[in-house]
């Protein structure tokens, strides 16, 4: 009799233990795969979702395992889930990136710019290279006082075929970046290209390293600020959108 009791107790406790282990393993897996504890579908505790763009933006070619990367195949489904999730009312995009794949960066930028929900970006540390279009793609942008943004021409690595078509393709790709940045910020095309092709500012390259308040002065970023200001602004944008939606309903 006593043996049966112990067996029954163990059988009842085992599923609960398994559930706890499954939850822990799921949490660890999310941290390993996405670098965060919750995905958009799970963000029921907050109306703001934080999307981080860190390290190097990985495109079609997988980078070495020692590189910290933001994989576009992780970010793109998250943005789609954010748009579909009614519990998420706004998005805070945090950037600390050296740049990376141009097309992957532009794809993320276009998706953020086309979201129907309010978005605010903040550059912490660095928003370099293709990180510039991502940082300006949101409704409002902030940059930390000590953060930097490197603006330089589009470059190719690896085997390059030295024919006119290659340089034409490179020039068109660069135009895509310039057009996106000037469309989604207050900087003029002339000023952006001037910063892009400036000589003497970067040791081993042409371009310009823009720090904090200079990014605001040039019209790239809206304001110098931190996380608190960014969240406050996002809440304001969310409230404005709600009041706008209510006004439309009343008119209908």
Residues annotated as part of the active site: 129, 152
Instruction: Kindly tell me the burial class for residue 194, based on how many C-beta atoms sit within 10 Å of its own C-beta (0-12, 13-18, 19 or more).
Output: middle
Strands 48-58 and 69-71: parallel
Q: How far is CA 46 from the centre of its chain?
A: 19
Torsion angles phi and psi, residue 71, rounded to 5: -90, 130
Q: Looking up tokens 């959108």, which residue turns up?
A: 241
Q: What are phi and psi of 18, to 5 degrees?
A: -65, -40
- Cα separation, 194 vs 218, in Å, equals 11
Angle formed by the axes of helices 164-183 and 102-113, nearest 10°: 30
Strands 140-143 and 69-71: unpaired
Sign of the four-CA dihedral 168, 174, 180, 186:
negative
Cα–Cα dist 58/166, whole Å: 22
Smallest CA-to-CA distance from 221 within 133, 153, 152, 154 is with 133
């Amino acid at each position: 009799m006593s043996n049966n009791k112990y067996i029954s107790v163990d059988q009842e406790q085992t599923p609960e233990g398994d559930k706890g282990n499954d939850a822990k393993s799921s949490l660890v897996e999310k941290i390993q795969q996405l670098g965060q504890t919750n995905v958009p579908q799970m963000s029921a505790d907050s109306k703001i979702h934080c999307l981080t763009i860190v390290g190097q933006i990985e495109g079609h070619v997988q980078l070495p395992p020692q590189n910290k990367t933001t994989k576009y195949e992780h970010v793109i489904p998250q943005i789609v889930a954010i748009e579909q999730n009614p519990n998420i009312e706004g998005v805070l995009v945090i950037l600390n990136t050296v740049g990376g794949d141009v097309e992957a960066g532009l794809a993320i930028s276009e998706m953020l710019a086309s979201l129907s929900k309010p978005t605010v970006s903040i550059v912490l540390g660095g928003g370099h290279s293709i990180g510039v279009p991502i940082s300006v793609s949101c409704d409002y942008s902030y940059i930390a006082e000590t953060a930097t943004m490197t603006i330089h021409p589009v470059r190719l690595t690896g085997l390059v075929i030295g024919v006119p078509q290659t340089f034409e393709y490179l020039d068109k790709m660069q135009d895509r970046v310039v057009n996106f940045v000037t469309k989604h910020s207050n900087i003029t095309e002339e000023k952006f290209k001037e910063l892009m092709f400036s000589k003497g500012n970067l040791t081993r390259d042409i371009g310009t390293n823009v720090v904090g308040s200079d990014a605001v002065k040039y019209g790239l970023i809206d304001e110098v600020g931190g996380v608190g200001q960014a969240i406050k602004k996002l809440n304001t944008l969310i409230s404005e959108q709600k009041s706008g939606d209510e006004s439309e309903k009343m008119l209908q």
